Amino acid sequence: MLGFLKKLVFKKSKKPQGPLTDRGLLVFENTSEVIQAEKHLRSRGFPVTVKGPPPEIQKGCDLVIEFPLMEKLTLERVLAAAGLPPLAVVPVTAPLLEPVNLFHTKDYGAYLMVRAANMKITVDKNSWRIVNISGGGCPDVPYLADALVGKTLFEAPQPRDLGHTLCGYALQLAYEELRRQCF
C-alpha cells in the first residue's frame, strides 16, 4: 500500500489536469488520526474537507483529508509539530484519484435523509424533528439514536459530544450537512 502511494506522489504528470491539480489528499494510518488532524487543521483556519478515499488508495473504512495543494508544505509542518504526520500526501492529478463525496441526500417528500459514509439521519421536513438514525456498526449507534431521535435539529445534542467512534464522527458530518441544507 505505502509503495503504491509513494509511486503516486512521485509520478510525474505529462500534462496538467486543470482544476484537479489544485487539490491534494492527506492519507493517514487510521480514521482516528484523520479526525484528530481535521480538528487540528480546522482550528487553525485551514480549508480542509474529509472525504472517502479514492479506490486506488483505499485501505478499509478510511477517510482522507482533501486540501488546497498550495498549502502542502505548511500543512505537513503543522501536522508534524502536532505529532500527526500523514502516511502520504497525494496530489489529485487524475480523475481516478478523485476523492469520494461522503454525503448523499434523499428527499422522501415529508422527510429528508442525509447519509455520511454509512451513517444516516432522517428528519421530518415540517418540524425538523429527527425521526431516524441508522447505519454503521459501532457500539455507540443505538445510544446516539436514543439521544437524538424525537428531538428537533435545534434541541438535539451534537453527535460529536456523545459518540467517540467512526460512526459517531460520520453521524456528526451528516448532522452538520443536514443543518446546512435546512437552514
pLDDT by residue (tens digit) across 81-92?
999 999 989 888
Residue 142: burial class (beta carbons within 10 Å; 0-12, 13-18, 19+) = exposed
Phi, psi of 16 (to 5 degrees): -55, 145
pLDDT digits (tens, 9 = 90+) for 42-78: 999 999 998 888 877 776 557 889 999 999 999 999 9
Per mean pLDDT, which range of 24-33, 52-61, 73-82, 142-151 is the poorest?
A: 52-61
What percentage of the chain carries pLDDT values higher than 90? 48
Supply the pLDDT for residue 100: 64
CATH number of 2-97: 3.30.70
Do 102 and 51 contact (CB within 8 A), yes or no?
A: yes
Do 101 and 66 contact (CB within 8 A), yes or no?
A: no
pLDDT digits (tens, 9 = 90+) for 89-110: 988 876 555 666 778 899 999 9
> What is the rounded distance in angstroms from the CA atom of residue 168 to the CA atom of residue 119?
8
Domain ranges of the chain: 2-97, 103-182
Supply the pLDDT for residue 32: 83
